[in-house]
Amino acid sequence: MAGSIRKRGKSSWELTVDLGRDPVTGVRKRRFETFEGLRRDAERRLTELVNKRDRGIDIIPQHLTVAEFLERWLLDYAAVNVSPSTLVRYTGIVRNYAIPRFGQLPLTKLRPLHIQSAYAEWQKKLSAKSVLHQHRMLHQAFAHAVDWQLLALNPAAAAKPPRPEQKEIEHLEPDAVKALLDKAGEYQDPWLTLIYVALATGARQGELLGLRWQDVDLGAGELRIVRTARRATGEGIVYGAPKTFRSRRPVRLDDDTVAVLRTHKARQNEIRLGAGPDWAENDLVFCEPTGGPMDSATVLKWFQRIAMDAGLGHVRFHTLRHTAGTLMAAAGINPRFIADRLGHANATFTINTYVHTTRSGELELQSGPFRPVTSRPSLCIYVLI
């Protein structure tokens, strides 16, 4: 691509010139410039920039603005290194908050005070947690500016984001888990199995909806999380890599969970035979009655209906993952094991998230629907009873 023009406003244009890849880092380089005026004038300016590039003239501006850098960072780094949902979130932070606040500043003139002032302003309308997320993205972006030799120091490193109040995560008590499973058993498969496996493994919804039978070894009592499912605008259900490197993981299954999955598989085989040529073979553990992928919106609708019928009120599907982590922590399971099982990056996050008490002050696991079982010295898992 020599260059391109993108309309940004009534008489505003974004000019992009491809500069190839950095021979050392391999990072794709582009020059961005905002042009005000008629399209024909913008095209003339783009031609001028392309001609300069072709003649070997450095067209990287010495006074690259924060806005130009952040837009470039979104294209050159974020678009190829983060998940689509994360890219959408980063783009929103850049265009709705960072650029309006200090985007017009030359990148080299940006100081920690500019960022600190922005945090104070943003916190008037946003939660401390949201501002912390914005800080982390800006810190990452400007760290790349340092790596790319555009800045000597990271201005976000010296800015202090607000500390969000530590809130107890939403989880279900053992009696609520039992009520949920009892009610799910009144619904047609796969709802009971899906909820059961979510509680037994602590897997994320997208990980479960992306799970294939080829990833499940019932004989060995193990499944592997290797991909996740999500809905992409204009594309339908797509599959991609799990959230992080640590999210790609094996998960040991207890005997009861293996039995539940065997029953589910046998029932699914009966449905497949009944569907005949209408069955879409995707090898999915959890699928629609015709074998097609399940949509997260459909899962949410049915799960909330089951939770409401069980008398639990509004419950998020992700609460099942929190419940699994909470029950393990309450039983004194090693945080490193919990982190590995849930796919957390480190045990510190696991401790901060799950080590707390329940409403009753203490969780009596043996009297609830979960009991800890040690199948080998290094492995302690939960069995639903």
What does the block give as tokens for 149?
Answer: 């030799």
Q: Within 13 Å and on the Cβ side, how many CA atoms surround 342?
A: 29
Please report the pLDDT score of residue 1 as a whole number. Answer: 52
pLDDT of residue 157: 95
In the chain, residues under CATH classification 1.10.150.130 are 3-147
Q: What is the mean pLDDT of residues 54-68?
A: 72
Kindly tell me if the per-residue pLDDT of 293 is higher than 80. Answer: yes
Mean of the per-residue pLDDT values for the chain?
83
If you classify domain 3-147 with CATH, what class do you get?
A: mainly alpha
At 329 the pLDDT is 78
Taking alpha carbons only, the member of 234, 229, 323 closest to residue 285 is 229
48: pLDDT strictly greater than 70: yes
Q: Which pLDDT band, with edges at 50, 70 and 90, does 11 fall under?
A: confident
Q: Which two tokens stand for residue 120?
A: 């104070």
As a whole number of angstroms, the distance between CA 102 and CA 11 comes to 22
Q: Write out pLDDT tens, residues 319-335.
A: 999 898 888 877 777 77
- The predicted model scores a pTM of 0.63
pLDDT the model gives residue 6: 87
Of the given ranges (23-37, 45-59, 252-266, 371-385), which has the lowest mean pLDDT? Answer: 371-385
Q: Is the pLDDT of residue 318 over 50?
A: yes
What pLDDT band is residue 63 in, cutting at 50, 70 and 90? Answer: low
- Tell me the mean pLDDT in the region 116-144: 95
Q: For position 376, what pLDDT does the model report?
A: 31
Are 172 and 330 in contact by the 8 Å Cβ rule? The answer is no
The CATH homologous superfamily for domain 174-384 is Intergrase catalytic core (1.10.443.10)
Comma-separated ranges of CATH 1.10.443.10 domains in the chain = 174-384
Q: Closest Cα partner for 207 from 115, 75, 324?
A: 324
Q: Above 80 in pLDDT, residue 244?
A: no
